[in-house]
Structure 1
Amino acid sequence: MTSLDLVRERLARFAEQEAHGVSPLYEHLAARAADDPDVAGLLTAAPERFAHATLLLAAAHRLVQAEPFHRLSDYYPSLGGTYGADEHTWPLFRDFVLERADRMRELIGSRTVQTNEVRRATLVYPALAKVKGPIGLLEVGCSAGLLLNLDRYGYRYQTQQAGQLAAGPAKAALGLHCALELAPGAELPKIPKTVKIAARVGLDRAPADLADEDTYAWLEACVWADQPERLRLFGVAATVQRKSPPELVAGDAVADLAEAAARVPEDLPLVVLTSSVLAYVPGEEFVAALRDLGRPVWWLSHEGYAAGLAHVLPGRDDLRPGPGDPAFGVVGLVRFEDGEARSVQALAKTAPHGQRLVWLP
């Protein structure tokens, strides 16, 4: 069991730093849940490392999916709702989840948030292009493995300096857009038309099978309910993946990393990708496992600074959000050889779901 004080603190922080300005519905619900011990208490059914606000909201989203004619669905654009958050939203939500408290606790206690945010491909594509291919890509915490297909998507980067930059296959089924800004002193990164991935492997404690209806519905529920465009992109990416599925391996991010890496041929440069995963994995242990792989490896990290790059690039307070600042991710590229970090680069700050990339000098 997770303490009530901890989950209330996480709900409040999520509302203030992650949902604020991004998801009016989830900001509204999380802020009120933080002040309601009955609703917040549902989240204590999860182990501490998984007991985050997004899990409570995903569980509620899943139950609203199952009852699409409930009045609460009027506030869920993912289900066709058109109402904005108002004075009725919280009472409806509160009654809904507490009347289904046993089902909520069952979902919260048995599931984890598996955010298949395919727009994050736009954030790591320019970094991946720095590694000469063809490469072998291993995504840790892959869920359904949608980022493993990032070479099959089309990209449009909107810049002030050069207008729109395009990359990826010309007839890609999925097109992704991202604002690309420059921090003071930075230059536009080179964005090649293609990256070449010769092997793709995903490692996850519970790889998501897109062919399973219940699993697919849960992955949809993990998408924030007032962002239907994200849901559409997930559906298109899932279709792309079904046509050519990657190899997905069930295992622990630390204990089974070497076994998963061994599935990437030795003659390919190995790139290990993590994206918003290390909040759930001991970062120091993961970095130690990377060092111990016994072969050169690139670590392409898209994490919060404290969870990711801080383990190999300490002292960069400029990569931490300041008091009251919204949360942001950091794209880093680290090369390990003979157990040592030979090259460490902090490349960009990012909006968490792929909306914006701020390239660093």
Structure 2
Amino acid sequence: MHAKAASRLLHHYREHARALPWRAPPGSGRQEPYRVWLSEVMLQQTTVATVTPRFLRFIERWPTIETLAAAPDEQILAEWAGLGYYARARNLIACARAIVARGGFPSSEAELRKLPGLGAYTAAAIAAIAFGEDAVPVDTNVERVVARVFGLADRTEVRAAAGAWWPVGDAGDFAQACMDLGATVCRPKAPACPYCPLRADCRAAALGTPELFPAPKARKVRPHRFGLAWWARRDDEVWLTRRPATGLLGGMAALPGPEWSDERPAANPLAVHRHGFTHFTLDLLVVRVAEPIGDGWWQPLADLADAGLPTLYRRAIEAALHAERERRLAA
């Protein structure tokens, strides 16, 4: 029964596959590993709509793994700005250089796992899609599809069920078929069950409660933290610095400031920007200073887009500029 369901899903994928710039058409066999790897790293916790234009920019600027590996860190980090989860960018750089040093991409899931920053899912996805290995990549979309087809509320049971279901010799297309189905039909909320090629075999649909599968993860309360950002202006320029290479937002352009803390600092800020990270929220207090602090550079405000600022600091600068305009108007 499930073998027939897999065949129907593959047929549906060949008829309705999303056209994505990193993907070869269904049935094409192996795909370009550089494009598969780059897209998979970018797509971690980031939507296809956000990734697509950024992927095209990366490929235009660095069309091969060799050109990416040879690029300065600062250029890659600046190009990554706005995609979030900046540890991915640092891992991307380390991984690209490791691949070039070894003479190319390894073709097996086991060898891919040895590369910097490649976890179980990414290694399996590259092995299946780029090299045709019978690997089973389970991302959020795949997990949801498998959990509903097999009626599994317990997420820990999904991987074994997926491994038993995966068709031999079609791992890459089948993985992408599950990903597409989860993104477009088998959605987390309001799944479009009447249009699903797996409806006849789906236990969750038969129960009439597909949204209950898999069981939702328990939400954790995120702690709140505070930070200071020093605001130094010189005519139409603002003083920027670069964060330490390691740690959160490592190596990215930023406003200077001390380490963040759990206590709100005693300061009279020009502006406050609240930002949500994965594990905590942050109030960044932008405070005027008379002179620039620390090593850095004067960045023209007209060229802020070229500075490679992460969203946190880009929004904080926008808040500070808005506050300055409001004060001028009120004066």
TM-score (norm 1): 0.22
When Rg is computed on C-alpha atoms for both structures, the one with the higher figure is: 2
Question: Where is the helix percentage greater, Structure 1 or Structure 2?
Answer: 2
